[in-house]
Structure 1
C-alpha cells in the first residue's frame, strides 16, 4: 500500500519494498535535500488499526517525515545539534498521548515515567523524533548524551526546606524533574534507610521527605504536590512515590479534601513494645 500510494501523495519519492525504506525530498528552489527513512514505524502503527484507516495514517506519516526533514535542515543553523539535546522526565504515556504521526525519541524509565528527548533551539525546546534523530546523525557513536547534558545543567540545584519536607526547584526550568535520574547525587537520601516519599508535580519542581517520617508529614507532602500540580503550565504528575534505591512504587493518595497518603505498611511507624508487654502478650 505504501508503494502504491506514496508516489501519489509525494511525487518523486522512492519506495524500496525489499529494503523497507522510502526516500523523501524537500527544499526550495535550487536547494533540494532528501533522506531515506525506514517504514517499520508506520507499518507497526497501521497493524494496530483497521485496514480502512491505513491510507490516512500513511499519508500523515509521509508528510510528517518531510516536515521533519525541513526542521532538521533549519536546526543546523543554530550550531551543533548534538550539544543542544536535552532530556525531560515526564509521566509515562505522555509521549503516546501527545505525539504526532512520527514517534518521539524517548527512553523508558521504570513503570511511572519516561525520558523524552528535545533539542534546544534558541529559547524553544523542540521534541526530537526518531526520524529527525536519524536525519541529524544523533544516534551515531560519540554524540553527547542528552541525559548527561541535562543533568549537568541541574547539578547546582540547592534543596530548600518547606514545612517539614524538602523542595528542589527552579523557575521555568523543565529539566529539574531529571533529578530523579541523578538520584545518587541530587537525592542521596533515597539510598538510605527507608528511602524517600517523593512527588514531581511540575517539570520544574519536585519535593520529598523521608519515607518513614510519619503520616502527618506524608499528608502535608501529598497536599503540597496536589496544589502545585493544579493549574501548573508544566504539570508532570499529581502522585506520590516511594523511592528506595533503584525501586520506585506509587503511593496511593485519596481524593478527599485535603488529600491523604495511603502509606505502605513497611514505612509506617511501628509501636514500641516494652519487655513487660512482651511477656504478658499486650
Structure 2
C-alpha cells in the first residue's frame, strides 16, 4: 500500500478518536494514540502505536474503517484496564506462559487487538498468555507493550513454560507413548522442547506425533509401520473428539527440525497415509534384481 493510503487511515483516526474517546491524543507524525482509563482519582494512560489498525483498515473498503477504528480503540482501553488489574497479582513477566496451538487459531478467535505470537513452522503457532490466579489470559501486542514485556531482559514465556513441563514422563500405551497432564494446557509445548521431552525425534526416522489436546501429546517411531501408525491415528482422533482443549486431529512426522503433516483418512476407523519414506521397503533378492520380478 502507498504512504498516502497509510496517511488516510491515520487522519481518520485523528478525526474520530477524540469523538469516541474524549481526551485521547493522536500524534499523526509518530503514528501513535494516547488513551486513558481509570476510576475517580486513579487515572492511567498509555501511548500505543496505530500500525496494527492501519494495516487492518487497508485490507478493507474505506466505508468500514470507522467501525474498525472504534472497535480497536475501545479494545485498547480495555487492554489498559486489564493490564492494571494484572499488575496486582505480582510480577507479570514471571507469569508469562506459552501454548502451542494449530496455526490460524489466533486469527480465528482473536478480538480487535492482535495476540502476541511466536512462529512455529507451517502447522502450529505459539500464543503467549499471562497466568493470573488459575486463569490463563491471552497476551496481546498492545498489552505486551504496556507491560514492557518486549525488553531484552524480560524472561522468555517459552522457557518459563518449558520449565513448568520439564517433569513430564511418557506413559507407554499400545505401541506408542503419551505425555499428558490433566487440565494442563502447557503440555502441547513438549513439541517445542523436543530435545529434552521428545529425544526420539532426532534419532533415525524421528517420530510420528499427534497433539489432539493442549494437555496431551502422543507419538511413536516414524518407521514403526502402518499398523502402529494407524493405531496412533485412531487414538489421536478419539482423544481430539469432544475435548474441551482441542488442538489438532492430525498426525505429523517430526524429524529433527523437520515437521511434515501426515494425512489421516476420514474412514472409520481412521488410518494414516504414510509418505513413501516411512513405508517398509521389501528386500530385493538377486532374482528380483536380475529379472525385475
Would you call these one fold, judging by a TM-score over 0.5?
yes
**Alignment match, 1:175:** 186
**Alignment match, 1:266:** 277
Q: Of 104, 129, 132, which residue of structure 1 is paired with 2:140?
A: 129
**Alignment match, 2:163:** 152
Normalised TM-score (structure 2): 0.95
Q: Matched residues in 2 for 1:38 and 1:280: separation?
A: 72
CA deviation digits over 1:94-142, x for unaligned, max 9?
Answer: 0000000000001010000000000000000000000000000111121
CA deviation digits over 1:19-47, x for unaligned, max 9?
Answer: 00000000110110000000000000011
270-279 or 100-109: which moved more? 270-279
Task: For residue 165 of structure 1, report the CA deviation from its aligned partner.
Answer: 0.6
Q: Matched residues in 2 for 1:276 and 1:25: separation?
A: 83
Q: Matched residues in 1 for 2:292 and 2:108: separation?
A: 55
Matched, 1:90 2:114: no
For structure 2, the residue ranges without an aligned partner over 5 or more in a row are 1-11
Q: Matched residues in 1 for 2:60 and 2:246: separation?
A: 31
**Alignment match, 2:152:** 141
Q: Matched residues in 2 for 1:211 and 1:67: separation?
A: 47
Q: Secondary structure, in 3 states, of the residue corresponding to 1:237?
A: coil
Q: Give the 5 Å matches for 1:197-212.
A: 197-212=208-223
CA deviation digits over 1:161-200, x for unaligned, max 9?
Answer: 1111110100000000000100011111111111110000
CA deviation digits over 1:224-248, x for unaligned, max 9?
Answer: 0100001000000001000111000
Q: Give the 5 Å matches for 1:46-125.
A: 46-125=57-136
Q: Matched residues in 2 for 1:141 and 1:249: separation?
A: 32
Cα RMSD, aligned residues only: 0.7
Q: Of 257, 260, 270, which residue of structure 2 is paired with 1:246?
A: 257
Task: For residue 274 of structure 1, report the CA deviation from its aligned partner.
Answer: 2.5
Task: For residue 18 of structure 1, report the CA deviation from its aligned partner.
Answer: 0.5
Equivalenced residue count is: 282
**Alignment match, 1:233:** 244
Matched, 1:185 2:196: yes
Q: Secondary structure, in 3 states, of the residue corresponding to 1:224?
A: helix
Q: Matched residues in 1 for 2:292 and 2:52: separation?
A: 65
**Alignment match, 1:222:** 233
